Amino acid sequence: MKEKINWATIGMLIVSIIVIVIMATCSSRMKRDLEISEHNLKVAQDSIEVLELRNGNLVYEIGSYIVEKDKLTAYLDISKKEIKDLEKKLNDKIAYIANLEGRAQYHDVHSTDSVSHATDTVTGIDTTKIDIHYKDDWLALQGQTVLVQDNATTTFSDIYVPVPLRVGLTDNYNIWVESKNPNVSITDIEGAAVKDSPLARPAPKRWGLSIYLGLGVNVGYDPINKNVGLNLGPSAGVAVTYDLIQW
């Protein structure tokens, strides 16, 4: 006699599986939110760490926040209007913003100058002009100092300070900044990644190995009646899994 399939039991099993999946998803999101909260708290307590590379360049590193997009204005000095304007001009969504502050400081800059003198034939006042020229790999100056009696006026017509910066982000959302200019130092770094962007979203792990124990629908063959049936019963084992859909 062919065994009837208990569709009600199978339906309950399917509903139970869906509930378990939803609960697991909610638990995963809650865990992620907790990790982000702990991460942001650590970032708020951090200070810039300065590291020296083998080539002598300095690297400045500090953690970045992970926040909702509408909270970027609370963490960084940027308005919602500016963010919308940026996304419109870039034709893309903002995933990360960083504010960098630094300074270029030079000591003992010596220039080779040319001096010229002139005397006003009417007033008899002497005027001395000193042309200033200086140039190296990281600074270029051009100007003039005018001496008239006890007064000196210096005017720079050109000041050039190259500030090459290399900026990156680690897997732990630490932003780092490096400059080849040895006279440049980074004084402040503030960065934030948008929580729902691909940048701040954890990398998907589709393959997995799991142990399961519970109820299952088992496919069985009845050699006497020569038919195949579905039976609800206990099930246990080890499985290799692959997630087709993630949310």
Q: What is the distance between the terminal CA atoms of the chain, rounded to a whole angstrom?
A: 44
Map out the domains of the chain as residue ranges.
7-31+204-242, 32-106+164-194, 114-160
What is the chain's pLDDT, residue by residue, as a tens digit (247 residues)?
445 556 666 677 677 777 776 776 677 778 888 889 999 999 999 999 999 999 999 999 999 999 999 899 999 989 999 999 999 999 999 999 999 999 999 888 888 778 888 887 777 788 889 998 899 999 999 999 998 888 889 998 899 999 999 999 999 999 999 999 999 999 999 999 998 888 877 665 656 666 665 656 666 655 666 666 666 566 666 666 656 555 5
pTM of the model: 0.69
